[in-house]
Amino acid sequence: MPKVFLSPSTQEWNQYATDGNEELYMNLLADRMEPYLRSCGINFVRNDPVRNVTGAIADSNAGTYDVHLALHSNAAPENLSGRLRGIDIYFAPKSSRSEKLANIIANNLKTIYPLPDKVRAVPTYSLGEVLRTKAVAVLCELGYHDNYADEAWLKNNLENIARNITGSLCDFFGIPFVAAGAVRWGTVTTNGSGLNIRSYPDMSGTIIGSIPDGATVTVNGETNGWYVVNYNGITGYSSSRFITL
């Protein structure tokens, strides 16, 4: 199953138009993404808020991740302060997969941002979190925090944005989006045989693990007769027919 390095901004000095700052609200967004990522079967690790961008890049490159997702909000140049609006999703110009992910995220955000014509995927030639990471990387600038309207949209839509971006990751990985719910636990009931964990909720999905009969398993979500499960560090899908909650 896919694994994401989730990297919300560590720039607490970037103050918002009314109150709060970029680090605070990007971490609140990441907090809201976690239940959706978990229910969709997407493994994730978050950056260390004490470390700067260089530290986030180093930590990401020290692991094995499918996507490095940086969450930020923007600010206009001083001469245009408070006058700009819009969302920019930055991608690595030499990576077709980075560009693909950026376009998926931008296109989906157009459905919830009030000015869809101002949402775009943009190549970057300078952002280290996009250009210096091993994983496919994008950096999301989710509105201008020095603009009162963008600040209000961002603060009032953290849950919608979290759901939307997680849905974009599912689109990119080719897995179903599963609405977030309470984490549950179940017992495998197969009358002796092991229960397969698959990479996709279908009998054609690759078998990536097995759960012994009688074992307790974590259930993070449910989709069309399949549970999103985690057992001994393996995340995937198992038939709900053989798990008693």
At 178-219, the pLDDT tens digits run 998 889 999 999 988 999 999 999 999 999 999 999 999 999
**Residue 211: which CATH number?**
2.30.30.40
Same domain, 95 and 192: no
Question: In the prediction, which pLDDT does 100 show?
Answer: 98
Two structure tokens written together for 177: 């989006």
- In a shared domain, residues 101 and 165: yes
Give the residue-averaged pLDDT of 47-69.
Answer: 96
18 and 137 assigned to the same domain: yes
Taking the model in full, what pTM does it have? Answer: 0.94
140 and 206 both lie in a single domain: no
Alpha-carbon gap, residue 33 to 140, rounded angstroms: 14
Query: Is residue 169 located within the same domain as residue 188?
Result: no
- When divided into structural domains, the chain yields a total of 2
For residues 75 and 143, give the distance between their C-alpha atoms in angstroms, rounded to a whole number: 8
In this structure, is residue 215 part of a structural domain?
yes
Report if residue 94 sits inside a domain. yes
pLDDT tens profile 148-178: 999 999 999 999 999 999 999 999 999 999 9
91-94: list long-range contacts, CB under 8 Å, 24+ apart.
91/121, 91/122, 91/123, 91/124, 91/130, 91/137, 91/138, 92/123, 92/124, 92/130, 92/131, 92/137, 93/123, 93/124, 93/125
Structural domain boundaries, residue 125 = 3-173
- Please indicate, yes or no, whether residues 69 and 151 belong to a single structural domain of this protein: yes
Is 158 in the same domain as 197? no
* Residues 70 and 125 both lie in one domain: yes
202 domain residue, yes or no: yes
- Structure tokens belonging to residue 167: 């849905």
From 154, 173, 192, the end of a domain falls on 173
Is residue 54 domain-shared with residue 168, that is, in the same domain?
yes
The model's confidence at residue 30, banded by pLDDT at 50, 70 and 90, is very high
Q: What is the CATH number of the domain that holds 22?
A: 3.40.630.40
Indicate whether 38 belongs to any domain.
yes
Kindly state whether residues 78 and 196 are assigned to the same domain.
Answer: no
Domain edge (last residue) among 145, 173, 201: 173
Q: Are residues 209 and 165 in the same domain?
A: no
In a domain, 178, yes or no: no
Average pLDDT, stretch 66-80?
97
Please report whether residue 179 resides in a domain: no
Is 111 part of any domain? yes
- Across residues 226-245, what is the average pLDDT? 96
pLDDT band, very low/low/confident/very high, at 44 (cuts 50, 70, 90):
very high
Residues 25 and 138 in one domain: yes
Last residue of a domain, one of 116, 138, 173: 173
Asked whether residue 13 is assigned to any structural domain, the reply reads yes
First-last CA distance in the chain: 23
